[in-house]
Structure 1
Amino acid sequence: MQKIQTIAICLSILLTTTNLLASEGTVQQVSGDLVYVTGMNGLAPLWSNLTVQNGQDTGAKLEVIKELPELVIARVVEANGTAVNTGDAVVLSTAQPDVSARKARRTVYATRVDKNPNVDGVLDDPVWSRATPIKGFVQRDPNYWMPSPEQTIVRIIYTDKSIYFGFECLVPDSSQFIANNMRRDSEIRGDDNIQILLDTYNDRQNGFFFSVNPLGAQSDLMLSNEGRTYNRDWDCNWVARTKHYPDRWTVEIEIPFSQLRFKQAADATWGINLARYIARKNLATQLVVGQQNSSSTERYRTADIGELHGLQHIRARRPIYIKPYALPGTTMDDQAINPSESRTFETGLDLRYGITSNISLDLSYNTDFAQVEGDQEQTNLTQFRLFFPEKREFFLEGANLFQFGELARVTGSGTRPPTLLFYTRRIGLEKGKKIPIIVGSKIAGKEGRTSIGGLNVLTDAALFEDEDDTIQVHRTNYSVLSIRRDIFARSNFGFIMVNKQIDDPHEGWNHYNRAGGIDFNYSPTSTLNFQAFAARTWDSQIGDADDARFVSMNYRGTRYWARLKFLDVEDQFEPAVGFINRRSGLEGFRRYDLYARYRPRPKFGNIRYMSIGPEAQIFTDHNNNVKYWTLELSAFTIFNTGDYWRNELKRTRDVVDEEFSPSARNKDVIIPAGTYTFTSFTTGPRPSRSRKLRPGINFEAGTYYTGRRYTIRSESSFRPSGQLSYEVEYQGDWVRLPQGNFNIHTLSNRLQYSFSTDFFVKLFVQWNNDKEFASANFLLNYRYRPGSDIFLVFDSAYGTDPTLTRRNRSVLLKLSYLLGL
C-alpha cells in the first residue's frame, strides 16, 4: 500500500510539472498594466498566476483576468523591478488558482500634492509630473478587451480640498475629433468625450459620473442601483477645461471633495472607472470593461469597475452653502378670474448644511423654478396615462434616495411609464399650473451601508381657471422618509413612508393620503437582478387601505437579454403623491411583462450588431379577465457608424368597457365599448448622435380600433458647430374611423446658441393642435461662477382656435449667488 501511495504522489508531481512546463505562452502585446499572451488558451484558467521569464531572471507576476478565443489577458500584480516586453516567455505558476485571494479589480493610484494645479486644460503644472500615469484602456466595443487604437493617459492628484484628473487623448490629427456641443449639461454622448465614474463608497451600488468633450462641455449624473438608474439633472459644482494640440487634446478637471459624499478613512479606497469615446470610429474604451455592450448606458455600470487607492486622510467636509436669489419681473394671466398685468419682485433662499460629513440638510424658502423649461408635448391615443419627468432642481438633488417602485423604461416605441410610490411632480403642480412652494426641507446622505432621505414641503393655497372650470387648491403639506440598507456585495433593501396632508378651510388638516412600502433588490451577479416590493395606501376620504405588490427578474448578458415582471394593484390603492399607470376603467389590475432580446454580431456588411426579440404586456382584472394585451416583435440593426434602423410589428387587443374619445379637440369622435384587435408596423432610421445633420424619422401604419392610423415621428437635429444647434421633434397622427376622421400634430422646436460653456441662449417653441395650444420660451443663462447664475426668461402661452390668442405671459430676471462658508 505504501508503494502504491508513493507511486501516486510521484505521478501527481510529474503530471503537475508537465502541465506547468507545457503551459508556456508568449507576450504578444503590452498595454499599460495589461499583458496579452498567446499560446495559453485552456491552460491558464481565470484568476490563475503567471510568471514572465526574462532571460535567466524571474520577471513580473501576472494574474489572468480575461480569456478570449485567441488570447489570455493578464495584469501585472508584481513588477519585481523588471519590464514586460513583447516576445517574453510566460509560464503558468499556479495551476489551481485561489479564487478567494484574487485581486479582482484593476487598481490605479492618486498622488497627494501640496499645491493645486491651475485648471486651464494645459497639463504643464509641475505637480502633474508626480502622478503615476494610467494607461492600458481597452475597448468595450467593437473589439472586446482589445487595446485602444488611440492611447489615453490619465493622471490623478489631490489636495485637502479637491481631486484633480488630467487626461491626454492622443489622436492622429486634432481636426478629426467630433464635438457638436458646447453648452454645459448638453447631450455629448455622440461627441468625442472622456468619462469618470466614482463609486466613493466602494459599494458597487451608487456613484457619480462626469464627462467632458473637446469643447469643454461638461455633463454630470448621479448613479444608483448599480448604474441602472441615473439622474441626468443632478448638478455638481466642478470645473473642466480643455486644450487642443496637433496630436492630442487634453482635459484638466477639478472636483471639490465637498461636492461628493464618501466614507472618511485614513486610507480611503474608491471604486473608479475611466473611459473615452472616439466618435468618428464609434469606439468605446474603458479602464475596466464588463459585458460587451454597445449601449451607452453600459458606461454607467458600477458593478464592473476598478479601484482608486492612495487617498489618504481626505476629509468629507461638512459644507454650508447659502444661495439667495432675487426675481423681478412682470406677469400676465389672461385666464385668471381677474386678468391683469402685475409687476413682481420675489426673493428666496436655499441653504445647505452638513449635519455630518455624509448627510446634509437642505432648506428652501419661497422655492422658485422660473428657469425650468416646460414639459414636452406628447400625443396620447390610448386609455393609459402620460408620464412627465421631473426637471426642478430642488427635487432632483438626491432623488435616487427616494426611488421606490418600478422605474420608467425607454423603448423603441416610447417610454413605458413607471410605478412610483413617490413622484415629486405631484408637489407644486396642479393641472400644469404652478402652485407656490412656501418652504421645503430635505435631509439626504449615507452613513456606512445605510442611506437616508427625508423631505418636507409646504405649498400654498391657489385659485385658477382651467378650461372654464375654477380650480381651488388648498394649502398642503407633503412629507416622505426613506431608509435603505446595502447587503451582500451588490444588493439592498429599504422602506419608504409618504404623507400628504391637506388644510381644508372647513375641516382643518384632517384629510390625508398616506403610502408605505418595503422593497428588496438582489443582484447575485453583475448580469442578473431580482426586484420586489410591497406597498399599501391609506386615504381618509376613501376609508379603505389597499395594497400593491411587484416582482421582477432582469438578465442582461452579452448576447441575450431577458426581463420578466409582475405587478398586482388593488382597486383602492391610490398613492396621491405617486404614479400608477392605470388604464381607464380598470382600477384594480394585474400586469404581466415579458421582454427578450438576442444581440448577434454578424460578420458581414457594415453591421456592428443586431437586436431582435419580442416584448409582451398583459393587463387583467382580479377575476383574471384579460382587458388589454400587446405583443411587439422588433429588430434593430446597428451599424459601425452608430446609425441604426428599426423595424417593429405590433399586435394589440383592447377591451373598451366605456366609450372614450381619443381626441380632445374632436370629442364627437368616439371609440364605442367593445373588444378590438389591431396591428401596426413601424420602420425608419435614426442617425448617429455624432452627425452634424441627424434626420431621424419613423413611419407607422396599421389598424386602430374601428379604423386605421398613420403616424410620422421625427427627432432631428442640426449642429453646424459646437455653438449653434437646432432640434425639432414632430409627431403627426392621421386617424380614419367610421365615426369620423381627425389629425393630431405636435411640434417642438429648440434653437440654442452657446457663447461659451457657461453662457447660452435658447428658444423653445411648441404647438399641439389637438389641445389648441402653442407656447414659446426664451431663456438666457449665464453662469458667472460655479453655482451662481443669471437667468432672463420670457415665457408665453397661446390658444390657437380659431386664431392665436394669448393665455399668459411672463418676463422674469433671476439672479442667484452661491456662497460657501
Structure 2
Amino acid sequence: MNIIWRLSALLPVVLLSLFASEAFGQKINAQYQLPIKQSSSPIQVDGVMDEQGWADADVATDFYMILPMDTSFSQVRTDVRMTYDDQNLYILVINFHAVPGPYYVESLRRDFSFGKNDNFLLFMDPFDDQTNGFSFGANAAGAQWDGIMYEGGKVDLSWDNKWVSKVQNYDDKWIWEASIPFKSIRYKKGITEWGINFSRLDLKTTEKSSWAPVPRQFPSASLAYTGSLMWDQAPPEAGANISVIPYAMGGSVNDFENNADPRYQNRVGVDAKIAVSSSLNLDLTVNPDFSQVEVDRQLTNLDRFELFFPERRQFFLENGDLFANFGYENIRPFFSRRIGLDAPIQFGARLSGKINKDWRIGAMNMQTGAVEETGLPSQNFSVVSLQRRVAQRSNIGVIFINKTAFDAASTTEPVQANYSDFNRNLGLEYNLATSNNLWTGKVMMLKSFSPGSQGDGMVHAANLRYSSGSLTAEWRHEYVSPEYTAEVGFVPRVGYYRVNPNLAYLFFPKSKRILRHGPVANTSLYYNMDLNQTDNITRIGYTTRFRTQADLTIFGEYNRILLQAPFDPTNFSGNTLDAFTDHNWYNFGAEYISKPQSLFTYAASTQYGGYYANGNRYNFMGEVGYRFQPYVGLSLSANYNNILLPEPWARTSFWLVGPRADITFTNTIFLTAFVQYNEQINNVNLNTRFQWRFKPASDIFLVFTDNYLPAPFYVKNRSVALKFTYWWTM
C-alpha cells in the first residue's frame, strides 16, 4: 500500500515535468497548408462542380492512410476544395471509388455512426489551439453530421446548427458540397490561419484516411494533428449575429394508473443566441420545453449506484465541456440533468466561448419554479467556469457551482422532496495534453460547502495516460471524502480511495484477415477511509479487430466486494444482503461485433460465473439489425439475466427487450419508433417521434410516449406533444 500512495503522490510531479518539456512544442503538421481565397463566382450548393470559383480553388489531395496501416498514402483518392464569400464558408469534396460497387450507409439520419457509413468529415479549429473546434460532414447518401469539438479530439454530436449541404452520386465517385455560414461557427477576428483536417472512411476497402497524417492509435478527429487553412485575408466578420428561436407546443398527459384527470399542456417560449463577439456566445431561454428530446434508453441495473444518462437538451450543449467535463465520469461536480427534470425551468442565461486564443469562459444561471405536489421550492443554479491554455495544448481550469433554494421555510407540510438551503462546489484542475498527444492526464481538486456540513468535503484525483502505436498504459487514483456533496453533480459514491491502473498492448500482423490484436488488463481497487480494501474488480482480456472492421474480445474477471451498505443483488426483489458482508467470484465472457458493411449486422456478448452470496449469474446481450439503405433501419436489442442465489432470492431471471425502427424518408424527414420491455421494473415503454426539418435548424415534432403494465396489459400513462420551432437569424 505504501508503494501505491507514493506513486499517487508522484503523479502531479510527473505531469508538471511533462508540461515543462512541452511548453515550447511546435505544431506537428504545420507544413500541411491549404490556401483558401475568396470565390471568384457565386456558389450554388448542389453537389455539382460547375462554378468558376471551384476551378480557381486550391486542392487538398494525396491523403494518408490511418487504417489498416499508417505508413503509406491512401489508395482511395479524395480531393478537397474550399472557398468563401462575405457570408459563408464553402467546401466541395470529390470522393473517388477505389473499387466498384455500391456505397455503405445506415440511413439518412443526421449525426450517423462514424464506423457504419462511407463518409467524409471536416475537422476545423478556428483558433488553431488544437483543443476546441467544429466538425461537419456527410455520408455517401447525404445525411449530415455536425458537432462541437472539445478536449483535443472529441466530438459532441448533440450540437446542432444552421448550414446546408448536398451529395451527388456517380458511378466512379460521390461529391459532397456544403455551405457553412460564418454566423454558425465561432472564430476570432483577424486570425488568418485555422487548424484543419479532413477524414475519409471507405468501407469497401476498409480504409480510413486523412489529409494531414494521423497515427493509427488516435482518432482522425485529433486536433493535435491538424494542418493549416491559410486565408488570403482575415475571414469576414460575421456582423450582427442574433438568432431568435421561438417555439409553440401543445399536448396532453393522461395518468390512467392514478385515475387522474388529463393535463393539457399548451406552452410557448423562446430561446435566443446572441454573439457577444465572433467567438463568445450568449444563450437565453424563457420557459423552455424539451418534449421533443428522445427518451432515455432503459438499462438493466444490477449496480449498487446510480446510473449515468447523458444530457440531450440543446440549450446545455454548446461549449458544454466547460461545465460538464470538469472531473471524471463518476466525479462530476456539475451535471446539467439535475436542472429541470423535477421542476420546471422558468428562465436561464448562458455565456460561453473564447475570450481570446488562451482564455475560455462559461457562465450559466438557471431558475426553476416551485412544485406544490412535492413541496420542492424554487431554486437557482449558477455555474462559472474559467479555462486558461498553457503550453501547446494543456490548460488550467477553475469552476464554481452554486445551488440555492428560495422560500423553503414557507413550503407546506408534508414535504416529499429532498433539498437543502444551498450547496456549493469549488474546483481546480490541470489538464495535460502533449503536442503529439502521446501523454495526456489530469490533476484535480474539489471542495464542497453545505449547511451544517461536518469535516472536509474534499476530492482529489489524478491520472496519467501514455498511448503509442502499440502500448497504452494509464495510472489513475481518486480520493472522495465521506462529507463531499455535489447536489448539482454526478458523484454516485463517496468515502473512498481508488487506484485504477490500465494496460494494453497491440500487435499489427502482416495478415489479410487480422488488423490488430493484443491483451488488455484493467484493475479497480477501492479502499475505505481506514485504507481497508472494499472492492477489487480486475479484468484481463484479449481483443482482435479484423480487417473487415469486425471485433472479437474474450475476457476473464475477478470481483471482490465488501458491501458498505445493505444491497439487493437483483435490484428487483426487495430483499437485501447485510452490510459488511464479503463476496468474491470469477466470471468469463466474450463479445463480438459483426462487420458494418453487411446489410444484416449483429453484436453479441455473454458472460457466466459467480455472483453475490456464492451465487451464479448468466448474462446475454445481443442486437441484430437490417437496413434497406438508405431509408429504413430495423433493429432488435435484448438483455437477459439469469441469477441463482440462496433463499430468499432463489432463481431470478428478467429480460430487457427493445425493437426499433428508423425511417428516413429524406435527409429532413424522420420517423423513429421503439419499444422497451423492461421486466426488471415491470414496464413497457413505447416512444414514437416524427420530425420534419422544413428549414435548416427549424423543425416540427410530433411525439407519442406510452407506458404500459405488461400483465395484465394496460396503459399506465400516455403523453402526446406537437411542437413547432423556428430558427430566425436577424
Q: So what's the TM-score if we normalise by structure 1?
A: 0.82
Partner Cα distance (1:537, 1:817) in 2: 41
Q: Residue 339 of structure 1 aligns with which residue?
A: 260
Partner Cα distance (1:724, 1:389) in 2: 26
The amino acid of 1:668's aligned partner reads N
The amino acid of 1:810's aligned partner reads S
- The answer as to 2:66 corresponding to 1:140 is yes
Secondary structure in structure 1 of the residue aligned to 2:676: strand
Residue in structure 2 matching 1:157, options 60, 83, 90? 83
Q: Residue 727 of structure 1 aligns with which residue?
A: 635
The answer on whether the counterparts of 2:617 and 2:644 sit within 8 Å (CA) in structure 1 is yes
- The answer as to 2:563 corresponding to 1:656 is yes
Residue in structure 2 matching 1:644, options 551, 557, 562? 551
Residue in structure 1 matching 2:316, options 395, 415, 428? 395
Deviations along 1:291-348, whole A, 9 cap, x unmatched?
223xxx6112111110010252322444100011111122212356x71113331101
The amino acid of 2:87's aligned partner reads K
Partner Cα distance (1:522, 1:292) in 2: 21
- The answer as to 2:447 corresponding to 1:523 is no
Q: Which moved more, 1:541-550 or 1:374-383?
A: 541-550
Q: Residue 9 of structure 1 aligns with which residue?
A: none
The amino acid of 1:701's aligned partner reads Y
- The answer as to 2:473 corresponding to 1:548 is no
Residue in structure 1 matching 2:476, options 565, 578, 589? 565
Partner Cα distance (2:599, 2:578) in 1: 43
The amino acid of 1:164's aligned partner reads Y
Q: Residue 576 of structure 1 aligns with which residue?
A: 487
- Deviation of the 1:690 alpha carbon: 3.0
- Deviation of the 1:541 alpha carbon: 4.5
Q: Residue 414 of structure 2 aligns with which residue?
A: none
The answer on whether the counterparts of 1:404 and 1:496 sit within 8 Å (CA) in structure 2 is no
RMSD, aligned CA: 2.0
Secondary structure in structure 2 of the residue aligned to 1:189: helix
Partner Cα distance (2:74, 2:545) in 1: 21
Secondary structure in structure 2 of the residue aligned to 1:312: coil
Which runs of 5 or more residues in structure 2 are unaligned? 1-24, 412-418
Q: Residue 743 of structure 1 aligns with which residue?
A: 653
Q: Residue 724 of structure 2 aligns with which residue?
A: 815
Partner Cα distance (1:108, 1:186) in 2: 28
Identical counterparts, % of pairs: 26
The amino acid of 1:213's aligned partner reads N
The answer on whether the counterparts of 1:261 and 1:316 sit within 8 Å (CA) in structure 2 is no
Secondary structure in structure 2 of the residue aligned to 1:355: strand
- Deviation of the 1:762 alpha carbon: 0.7
User: Which structure has the larger Rg?
Assistant: 1
Q: Residue 171 of structure 2 aligns with which residue?
A: 246
The amino acid of 2:336's aligned partner reads T
Q: Residue 20 of structure 2 aligns with which residue?
A: none
Partner Cα distance (1:613, 1:268) in 2: 44
- The answer as to 2:46 corresponding to 1:120 is yes
Secondary structure in structure 1 of the residue aligned to 2:303: coil
Residue in structure 2 matching 1:166, options 92, 99, 105? 92
Deviations along 1:435-473, whole A, 9 cap, x unmatched?
311111111110211101111111122255xxxxxx442
Deviations along 1:356-399, whole A, 9 cap, x unmatched?
22211111111111111111111222323311111111112221
Partner Cα distance (2:232, 2:295) in 1: 43
- Deviation of the 1:403 alpha carbon: 3.4
Partner Cα distance (2:468, 2:623) in 1: 30
Mapping of residues 186-265 of structure 1, within 5 Å: 186-227=112-153, 229-265=154-190
Relative contact order higher in (CA < 8 Å, ≥ 6 apart):
2
The amino acid of 2:293's aligned partner reads V
Residue in structure 2 matching 1:271, options 195, 215, 226? 195
Q: Residue 57 of structure 1 aligns with which residue?
A: none
- Deviation of the 1:804 alpha carbon: 2.4
Secondary structure in structure 2 of the residue aligned to 1:128: helix
- Deviation of the 1:646 alpha carbon: 1.1
Partner Cα distance (2:726, 2:675) in 1: 29
Residue in structure 2 matching 1:782, options 684, 692, 696? 692
Partner Cα distance (1:436, 1:255) in 2: 35
- Deviation of the 1:405 alpha carbon: 3.4
Partner Cα distance (2:688, 2:28) in 1: 57
Secondary structure in structure 2 of the residue aligned to 1:386: coil
| Aligned CA distance change for structure 1 residues 109 and 636 (closer, same or farther; 3 Å) | same
Q: Residue 204 of structure 2 aligns with which residue?
A: 280
| Aligned CA distance change for structure 1 residues 278 and 505 (closer, same or farther; 3 Å) | same
| Higher share in strand | 1
Secondary structure in structure 1 of the residue aligned to 2:92: strand
Q: So what's the TM-score if we normalise by structure 2?
A: 0.91
Q: Residue 226 of structure 2 aligns with which residue?
A: 305
The amino acid of 1:537's aligned partner reads S
| Aligned CA distance change for structure 1 residues 230 and 395 (closer, same or farther; 3 Å) | same
Q: Residue 511 of structure 1 aligns with which residue?
A: 421
- Deviation of the 1:107 alpha carbon: 0.7
Q: Residue 793 of structure 1 aligns with which residue?
A: 703
The amino acid of 1:724's aligned partner reads V
Q: Residue 7 of structure 2 aligns with which residue?
A: none
Residue in structure 2 matching 1:612, options 499, 519, 537? 519
The answer on whether the counterparts of 1:665 and 1:772 sit within 8 Å (CA) in structure 2 is no
Partner Cα distance (1:153, 1:799) in 2: 56
Residue in structure 2 matching 1:473, options 376, 380, 400? 376
- Deviation of the 1:677 alpha carbon: 1.1
The answer on whether the counterparts of 2:429 and 2:442 sit within 8 Å (CA) in structure 1 is yes
Q: Residue 340 of structure 2 aligns with which residue?
A: 428
- Deviation of the 1:253 alpha carbon: 1.0
Secondary structure in structure 2 of the residue aligned to 1:380: coil
- The answer as to 2:582 corresponding to 1:675 is yes
Partner Cα distance (2:462, 2:238) in 1: 37
The amino acid of 2:364's aligned partner reads L
